[in-house]
Structure 1
Amino acid sequence: MVKVIVKWNKNVYKDIEIDDFKTGADLKKKLQELTNVPVDRQKVMGLGGLLKDDQILSDLKIKIGQTVQLLGSADSLPEPPKEKTVFAEDVTGNEESLGFYPNGLVNLGNTCYLNAAVQTLKVVPELRTALKEYTPPSSGNDLEQKITASLRDTFKDLDDNGKNSVTPDRFLQAFRSAYPQFAEKSRTEFGEIYAQQDADEFISKLLFSIGPKLQVTESSSSDQKKSITDKLFSGQFQVSIKNTESAEEPIKTEQEGFHKLSCYINQQTSNLNYGLEQSMQETIEKNSPTLNRNALYMKTSKISKLPPYLLVNFVRFEWKNRDKTKAKILRDVKFPTTLDVYDYCTDDYKKTLDVTREALRKQKEEAILKKKSDVVEPEEKKMKMDVDVQSVSLLEGDDTAWYELSAVITHKGRTSNSGHYVGWVKDDNKRWLKYDDDEVSEVSQEEVKKLSGGGDWHTAYLLLYKRMNEAP
């Protein structure tokens, strides 16, 4: 008889006889009796990865006394509200208003970083369209092609109303083939399991991989092609580098691209704007041709071109030599739902922005005055206008430096190689949805604002802002 030990939260269940069960599903039913954790909410690890329902237990090399970890909540789920009968013809085109939620992604063993990132990127309609239209060439089968095609298929599965959750196994396999570090495993007391990865690093590598495969026209007056990921997420800095130890050395100015902004966190950082300011002015050490030695330079960055979608990374992890790990800075850093980055732009770029911003302010003022004087528009006309506004692609239009918050990726835990990632996304219907792997639920904007940190709760790590085409 092979007996194992099952750990769940602070509870330990000894002498569980594995021989009594044929499949993973059988074992999970027993664990439900012991812990009251529903089978569909169980994650069982320690038997060679995440235990699947159809796994034949006798095929596993299970040792006597082996420890098995059970993850899952035993909290009773709320009973569904009593509703009147809904007919199919009433549902068509109005699923979201009736409380239906999109599909989630199954956690394949520490893949919450991937799930949160994919759900976040899916909020970008221009990227969804480009992937939907992507057709791989008949010849060639490179890794970037596999990643792009499998991400396209994953997005398609997520849009399939007939599914409750999606298993992104093909996409994960393609990505790990291209980036083997994401297939690294950690040795734990429960055996070898896939290591936790960084969501920020994952997004950077994913956008780098699919960019060459998704090309769009540079501009209406040019036939040149450009990566859609560059068009959507890339901006430009004007960087000046000044030698602080030699007034004789001329200031060097150059252009530098960026795919995200960084929010530095120190003891004085209490909000996103302060952190952004700190990141755009830093001291670096480099060789001085004037002094013939290393010297300290002041590097100052100003934005000279903004992207339609702005990624912001909270620099929350710092290396601790004593513990040999990246420890997390838990400090509470507030972030706005409406962000204005005008003050971080170059003077020349501000002049361009001023024209658009002033026009949009005037447009808003006129709309307010018109609303006060006019009769309220019929509801059907108003709905049509809303749809028309939403359909405008952000690949077109002028920069405004105004952004609205579209998604947040949070991290819960103390180190970068552990913990849990969750995606919080504002959908096309202006609802905030929480994507906790395959569990999807609706949350309020106030709950999203509380993700600013300060403790062991979910803490904002990556923000996605969408350009506003109207004055705030």
Structure 2
Amino acid sequence: MSTTITLKWNKSTFDNVEIGDLKTGLDFKKKCQELTGVHPDRQKIMGLGAGILKDNQELSAVKVKAGQLVRMMGSADELPEPPKEKTVFIEDTAKENGDGEVQYYPAGLENLGNTCYMNSALESFRYVPELREAIEHFDGSSVSELLEKDKEIASELKSLYKRLDTANDSISPITFLEAFRKAYPQFAEKERTELGEFYSQQDSDEFITNLLGSLENMLKTSDRNVVNLITCYLYCFYRLQCTECEEAPTVTKEAWKKLSCFISQQVSNLPYGLQKSLDGTLEKESPTLGKTAVYTKTQRISKLPNYLVVNFVRFFWKQKQQVKAKVLRDVAFPSVLDTFELCTDEYKNKLKETREKMRLDREEEMKKKKEEQLNNLGQQAKKQKTEETDKTPLYQVNDSGWFELCAVVTHKGRAANEGHYVAWVKNDAGQWLQFNDDDVTAVTEEEVKKLSGGGDWHTAYLCLYRKARKLNL
């Protein structure tokens, strides 16, 4: 497929229009809008495929000759301003569930060409209230010129989340994407194929790391760094002990942004994988022996964060094929993650009091439920009771070591530089939603648990856990 065409609109002609990185008819219409000012809803395109070009037409299936003439009809008149009060149409914002009830879903993000890695990450952090509050109060008035690119990212993210909160339909994250690529040019890399030049698929984990780095620079306050509180800064003791001599061990303290679960044939669940990832052996130069020696590595958490990011290390480099391949092994992850055994003895002692209180609260809750059932009041109480979400900021909640799952980013495919990312997110009401770019649907917790891997289906790549307020085992 040629990468350029000639576009004819009224008396205007646009030569050498690049279409190699466009995937659908709607993408092409947006390109025409940039050139002519004609909104896609007003366009009729002829000359790409049979008949009038449809929005969902796959351009890769259309045979195009170099310089082929494509005609567009449509008026460049401005579309009417939207009403100040949003008019909501059920057809646009709701779907019916199996019981015939109307279900309303939030807006999603359009895929701008291999940008699912970004969309899934942004949706995962969209329901972190502490982050949203910090971004909403961000104005950037005192930001230095050295951090101008980080300022643009924070400002565009603030605008993007506001648009998502009020939109009835999916929106384009183009201005945020441009700001992010400006700050991190590696995310603007392209690859050339026989169909033309396309933006490369990127790693969602790397995107999150860079995004949080920019937000960390922007969202600092006088008394605390908001990103440190809301995301994944945990502190660990790192101990190295030589196995070949009585050399004194070295102990250092490190700050991590995430926990990594390395996957082997022995790892079938996340808690065990994390434990194995913290311990192990390595080779390094021994100052005592004057040669390379084997050391045992022991790492333990000395301070837990409020939000914990866990990365399943699924990608590895295949030297022979020269490709970054994927580990498909099934690794189960829990709805409630207990990190107690990953902590130092000193930190465990600090966690015990809160853990015991949460256990007692859980026992009391179960006792009350049992009494309601015995008195046949369970169903009636369920109808009458409306639970209020605890709005207490997580940094005011005591550490227990227990974390509850609130988002999963999955990857579908067998290589890192291809495939598709999707976000599975628990919203403020406790409902699980699947954000597949612009397609948003409700899912059950059981469906989320099936994302553990083992085949070509969606496989958990990142999990976002938040500090548990109560015990829900």
Which secondary structure state, in structure 2, belongs to the residue aligned with residue 165 of structure 1? Answer: coil
Alignment check: 8 A CA contact 1:286 1:294 kept:
yes
- Partner of 1:286, secondary structure, is strand
Structure 2 length-normalised TM = 0.78
Query: Could you tell me which of 135, 138, 146 is aligned with 2:139?
Result: 135
Gaps of 5+ in 2: 5-18, 20-35, 69-88, 91-100
Cross-structure match for 1:215: 220
Q: How does 1:33-432 map to 2 (within 5 A)?
A: 39-42=54-57, 44=59, 63=66, 98-137=102-141, 140=144, 142-161=148-167, 163-216=168-221, 224-246=223-245, 248-372=246-370, 382-383=385-386, 386-387=387-388, 389-432=389-432
Secondary structure at the aligned position of 2:198 is classed as: strand
Q: Secondary structure at the match of 1:351?
A: helix
- Shift in Å, 1:32: 8.9
- The answer to whether the 8 A contact 2:153-2:214 is kept is yes
Q: Counterpart of 2:452 in 1: which secondary structure?
A: coil
Structure 2 CA distance for partners of 1:283 and 1:39, relative to 1, 3 Å: farther
* Offset from partner CA, 1:380-422 (integer Å, 9 cap, x none): 9832xx32x4312112111111111111101111111111111
Which residue does 1:76 correspond to in 2? Answer: none
Cα distance in 2, alignment partners of residues 441 and 231 from structure 1: 26
Q: 355-364 or 370-379, which moves further after superposition? A: 370-379
Secondary structure (helix, strand or coil) at the match of 1:365 reads helix
Residue 360 of structure 1 contacts residue 471 of structure 1 at CA under 8 Å; is this kept in 2? Answer: yes
What are the Cα deviations for residues 332-361 of structure 1, in whole angstroms up to 9, with x where unaligned? 111111111111111111111110010111
Deviations 1:93-149 (A, max 9, x none): xxxx84111111011111000000000011211101111111111675510100111
Contact 1:211–1:230 at 8 Å: present in 2 too? no
1:451 aligns with 2:456: no
Does the aligned pair in 1 maintain the 2:131–2:226 contact within 8 Å? no
Post-superposition Cα deviations, 1:300-329, rounded to whole Å, max 9, x if no partner, equal 111111111111100000001111111011
45 and 204 in structure 1: CA distance in 2 versus 1, 3 angstrom threshold: farther
Answer yes or no: is the 8 Å Cα contact 2:259–2:309 preserved in 1.
yes
* Distance of 1:277 and 1:29 partners within structure 2: 60
Corresponding residue SS for 1:364: helix
The letter of the residue matching 2:105 is Y
**Aligned residue pairs, count:** 402
Q: Which runs of 5+ in 1 are unaligned?
A: 7-21, 48-60, 66-84, 87-96, 218-223
Kindly tell me: are residues 40 and 99 of structure 1, through their superposed partners in 2, closer, same or farther at Cα, counting changes over 3 Å? farther
Verify the 8 A CA contact 2:435 2:441 in the aligned structure 1: yes
**Other-structure match for 2:7:** none
Structure 2 residue 467 is the aligned partner of structure 1 residue 467: yes
Q: Are the aligned partners of 1:284 and 1:297 in contact in 2 as well (CA < 8 Å)?
A: yes
The residue number in structure 1 matching 2:79 is none
How far the C-alpha of 1:429 sits from its partner, in A, is: 1.4
1:31 deviates by: 5.8
State the alpha-carbon separation in 2 of the partners of residues 360 and 313 from structure 1: 27
> 1 CA distance for matches of 2:311 and 2:50?
40
Change beyond 3 A, Cα 1:391–1:170: same
Distance 1:32 1:468 in 2: 57
Post-superposition offset of 1:252: 1.3
Q: Supply the AA of the counterpart residue of 2:212.
A: L
Aligned-partner residue type, residue 404 of structure 1? E
Q: Which amino acid aligns with 1:444?
A: T
State the AA in 2 paired with 1:369.
K
| Aligned AA (2:271) | N
- In 2, the alpha carbon distance for the partners of 1:281 and 1:185 equals 39
Cα shift readout 1:240-280 (whole Å, capped 9, x = no counterpart): 1111222x201111211111111111112211122112210
Whole-Å separation in 1 of the counterparts to 2:50 and 2:129: 41
Contact 2:134 2:226 in 1 (8 A): no
**8 A contact 1:213–1:227 mirrored in 2:** no
2: CA distance between counterparts of 1:204 and 1:351? 31
The whole-number CA distance in structure 1 between the counterparts of 2:449 and 2:46 is 37
Question: For the structure 1 residues 265 and 290, does the alpha-carbon distance in structure 2 shift closer, same or farther, using more than 3 Å as the test?
Answer: same
Alignment deviations for residues 28-81 of structure 1 (CA, whole Å, 9 cap, x no partner): 9976979xxx9454554699xxxxxxxxxxxxx96279xxxxxxxxxxxxxxxx
Return the offset for 1:373: 5.3
Verify the 8 A CA contact 1:46 1:190 in the aligned structure 2.
Answer: no
The one-letter code matched in structure 2 to 1:271 is N
The structural deviation recorded for 1:285 is 2.2
Q: Could you list the runs of 4 or more consecutive aligned residues of structure 1 that deviate by over 6 angstroms after TM superposition?
A: 374-381
The normalised TM-score by structure 1 is 0.78
- Distance in 1, matches of 2:116 and 2:274, equals 27
Q: Give the corresponding residue for 1:55.
A: none
Verify the 8 A CA contact 1:28 1:42 in the aligned structure 2: no
Counterparts of 1:139 and 1:252 in 2: how far apart (Å)? 40
